[in-house]
Amino acid sequence: MHIPVGGEHFIQNSLCAIAVAKAFNIEMPKAIAGIADFELTKRRMEIKKAKNGATVINDCYNANYDSMKAAIDYLGKLPNNKKIAVLGDMLELGKYSKQLHEKVGEVVANNKINLLICVGEDSKYIAQKAEKEGMKKEQIYLCKTNNEAINILQKEMKEQDVVLLKASNGLHFTEICDAICTNE
């Protein structure tokens, strides 16, 4: 069975879809064809090409801990030479914000991400925890603006690299994507 989007979480989603199809007596070839035709909405695990040829995973529509973890886990399993995570704040977490941003930092360190670029106020907790969990300080950038992140990417990103863009929509990471990606 072909699942047209990356990430283990989509395998699990597809298995759930098969179970629902089975429960409603939908023929398996029809269910499998439906999964094969599945398309994500824009800015959710959308694979794009950077102007320099690097692969960009544009997942900047929204962010919570589970979606951050899934996207970073996916990035960590890719075979590219360098994996760059550009992560921004997860908004609307209330009193759990620091704790959940720190958990994202652990996920980054555990996935052996080569370069971490954080943007936003609470993303500093991602950076701090990633460093505490073993990521080298020179692999981590903390930015106040998207333009700072763009400048770092333009210096650091090479053709064979893969870049993940992930943040809550309110951080306007589409600016980063538009600046580094082709219009194709």
Q: Rounded CA gap, 58 and 33, in Å?
A: 25
Q: Which amino acid is at 125?
A: Y
- CATH architecture observed for domain 46-180: Alpha-Beta Complex (3.90)
Strand-pair partners of 89: none
pLDDT (tens digit per residue) in 70-103? 999 999 999 878 999 999 999 989 999 999 999 9
Q: Which amino acid is at 29?
A: P
The number of angstroms, rounded, from the C-alpha of 116 to the middle of its chain's C-alpha atoms is 12
Q: Rounded CA gap, 177 and 180, in Å?
A: 5
Q: Rounded CA gap, 50 and 96, in Å?
A: 34
Task: Tell me what the mean pLDDT of segment 116-123 comes to.
Answer: 96
The ranges assigned to domains in the chain are 1-39, 46-180
Give the chain's end-to-end CA distance (angstroms, integer): 28
Which has the minimum average pLDDT: 3-7, 120-124, 158-162, 177-181?
3-7
The proportion of the chain whose per-residue pLDDT surpasses 90, expressed as a percent, equals 66
